[in-house]
Structure 1
């Protein structure tokens, strides 16, 4: 079995993607339309937040699916297909079901309480919907992924390495994403949760992420060389979307912008973040448990902060602190230390995951 070099940059991207989702959810509380998608919203909206939200919105979720597909490649180096399915069921499906039955109903109850609606027990995927998607992608794409792994010296992978060694090799990839956006015509493009657009976009990103890692060093060297090009195109398309289209750009342009942002993120992370650290070791394990519970602390914070007569920016900062700190404290003091809870949140048994152990491979956490 060949040795696979640990990719700390991909671990970091996964942690950052989860962190961006948390920040984005806090920001929704300051948009007037937040209540329509089940968020507690402040009566002091902060419209200036929409500018960074609009920039993040086209790539934050696709990025997570890309990274999840990359993780499958690393997981396959040490597992057969049965072991990989069992491991993914334990680390993705079980936390998804547990969160949908326990934590989603809690924050839905808090939303009902705040707006004085009838209180009911409402299990649903909620903010965990993408975990269910990832589990489906694993089941559906596993035969293809194992076939490609067994034929890494074959013509397809050779073609992949050659094609992705130049930016023009990404044109067929981007074209598939553009076709998805045009065929399904989502309104808006950023409506990912529990939609056919979100499902098929995620499926494409998952498989392409796997192929990017399969392509190996030529792809990553190309990204490093052309990183400023991808960033420049992403910024240009974002500016066009805001200025020329008043944020309502056609879906094919949003799809292109999304993928250029993602290529830039991969490139700069590979250059600057591909190294181990204690912070990464801790956050790599904490990311999903914190994400699973964060909506409860977000809604609890909103219950107490939104009625206060303070400016929206201060409310935002305080709510972000309450959400992040509450989630991390619960993880550190309870989830991380109780073995049966570790199981429900998709973590290894405590005896197998000591503070001094190496960072888990990206596949183990994605």
Structure 2
């Protein structure tokens, strides 16, 4: 960071990482994987479905539904701040940040869209054909030359609910959005001459004390009132304005506040009130969602407006509680954390395809629910682990699975013994 601009003493000294945020990132990705296992069982629409429908899972799914991706964007913004500061300390500008983010995110996005995701679409079409009464979906003309049809957007896979547009990124929308947000951030850093992080001082002052709990809820409620009804979350990038307002704001918040020790301490002080508010808001929101879960159930507009505030309180209070408890208790580095900090990205890339493919074939076996779910979770864990272990052993090809090659210990020792370069 530049020493030209004044900064408050509460801004933490430069460091390569925050261990608590590493733990939170790993935990958030883990919850997301379990959430997608749950999508196989709840009545909500998804790519493939189990023969066991578990309606009682809905309130449990609602426990993380409002905030899990928002938290991931916030933590990703914080990680991008440390990366940007590292480049700045070495005299490298926003272009290096943009290049690094592109190298890390674009290869897995493209590989995912054309290799990882197609099986999800295949089995989604397969199950739709079975639902239409096709006895042998695999032998149907609709699935002949599937990958070519998928890649060329020529499948014409449509039913009464709409058409499946391909190629698609499905769960990898997070990677696409993170890449776009990172490039936008690099552009903002270039336009402001690297002064953008100074806005973190403004946020730090505005969010003192209880303001850290109140004002983000107000912001989230306002964008939900203004945008959510007009722009349903679609993950299509160009029409997803409520999602952008939510996710890019969280990304910027993480970037601007990652080094603020004052806000970190405030999160710690407010962790218990935030948790109590979060659980209360979740109970109210889950009860509302349960009451109006039927397709033809239409709540009154006044109730909808109130529930938008409840939803916003649920979103931020859980995030604030997680950040507070994390900052208080998750400060110990371990070999497991170092393994998972790199591993969760390939886990994320592979997990949904593993769930869809394994779930589709498991559903045919008519196993008891407990056995089916246990096998599905175990298969997903093993598949994710295998993906990471393969990715870390194939050099630069590991980039397509989200793993950058790591220098060998011998090279690291040699680099440490070299004389320092001239500035």
* TM-superposition CA deviations, 1:21-64 (whole Å, max 9, x none): 11111111112333xx4x21012111222121011101111111
Which of 342, 357, 365 in structure 1 is aligned with 2:398?
A: 342
Task: Give the CA deviation at 1:166.
Answer: 0.9
Task: List runs of 5+ in structure 2 lacking aligned partners.
Answer: 2-12, 88-92, 131-136, 151-166, 293-303, 414-423
CA distance in 1, matches of 2:409, 2:98: 21
Q: Are the equivalent residues in 2 in contact too, given 1:30–1:312 (CA < 8 A)?
A: no
TM-score after normalising by structure 1? 0.86
Which of 22, 26, 39 in structure 2 is aligned with 1:15?
A: 26
CA distance in 2, matches of 1:71, 1:259: 19
Aligned equivalent of 1:87: 100
Q: Are the equivalent residues in 2 in contact too, given 1:166–1:222 (CA < 8 A)?
A: yes
Q: Are the equivalent residues in 2 in contact too, given 1:91–1:345 (CA < 8 A)?
A: no
Aligned equivalent of 1:138: 182
Which of 236, 239, 242 in structure 1 is aligned with 2:283?
A: 239
Q: Are the equivalent residues in 1 in contact too, given 2:51–2:366 (CA < 8 A)?
A: no
Q: Are the equivalent residues in 1 in contact too, given 2:277–2:314 (CA < 8 A)?
A: yes
CA distance in 1, matches of 2:358, 2:57: 19
CA distance in 2, matches of 1:206, 1:50: 28
Task: Give the CA deviation at 1:329.
Answer: 1.6
CA distance in 2, matches of 1:245, 1:131: 29
> Highest CA radius of gyration, 1 or 2?
2
Which of 49, 72, 82 in structure 1 is aligned with 2:57?
A: 49
* TM-superposition CA deviations, 1:105-125 (whole Å, max 9, x none): 122223334542722333211
> Following TM superposition, where does structure 1 have runs of at least 4 consecutive aligned residues deviating by more than 6 angstroms?
none
C-alpha RMSD of matched pairs (Å): 2.6
Task: List runs of 5+ in structure 1 lacking aligned partners.
Answer: 358-366
Task: Give the CA deviation at 1:196.
Answer: 2.6
CA distance in 2, matches of 1:236, 1:46: 24
Aligned equivalent of 1:163: 206
1:265 to 2:322 alignment: yes
* TM-superposition CA deviations, 1:131-157 (whole Å, max 9, x none): 1111111122334456495476x6x54
Q: Are the equivalent residues in 2 in contact too, given 1:234–1:261 (CA < 8 A)?
A: yes
Written as runs of structure 1 = structure 2, the 5 A alignment for 1:203-282 is 203-214=248-259, 216-243=260-287, 246=290, 250-282=307-339
Q: Describe the shift of the 1:251–1:84 C-alpha distance in structure 2 as closer, same or farther (beyond 3 A).
A: same
Which of 105, 112, 116 in structure 2 is aligned with 1:99?
A: 112
Aligned equivalent of 1:179: 222
1:197 to 2:242 alignment: yes
Q: Return the structure number with greater helix share.
A: 1
* TM-superposition CA deviations, 1:145-199 (whole Å, max 9, x none): 56495476x6x5444333333122443333222211111124898x463333222
CA distance in 1, matches of 2:207, 2:281: 22
Task: Give the CA deviation at 1:103.
Answer: 0.6
Task: Give the CA deviation at 1:287.
Answer: 0.8
Task: Give the CA deviation at 1:281.
Answer: 0.8
Q: Describe the shift of the 1:350–1:223 C-alpha distance in structure 2 as closer, same or farther (beyond 3 A).
A: closer
Q: Describe the shift of the 1:91–1:244 C-alpha distance in structure 2 as closer, same or farther (beyond 3 A).
A: closer
CA distance in 2, matches of 1:343, 1:49: 36
TM-score after normalising by structure 2? 0.75
CA distance in 2, matches of 1:139, 1:343: 19
Q: Describe the shift of the 1:48–1:245 C-alpha distance in structure 2 as closer, same or farther (beyond 3 A).
A: closer
Q: Describe the shift of the 1:353–1:58 C-alpha distance in structure 2 as closer, same or farther (beyond 3 A).
A: farther
Q: Describe the shift of the 1:232–1:85 C-alpha distance in structure 2 as closer, same or farther (beyond 3 A).
A: same
Task: Return 129-138 or 241-250, whichever deviates more.
Answer: 241-250
SS in 2 for 1:45: coil
Q: Are the equivalent residues in 2 in contact too, given 1:128–1:292 (CA < 8 A)?
A: yes
* TM-superposition CA deviations, 1:241-260 (whole Å, max 9, x none): 23466466622321221111
Which of 59, 65, 68 in structure 2 is aligned with 1:60?
A: 68
CA distance in 2, matches of 1:137, 1:217: 25
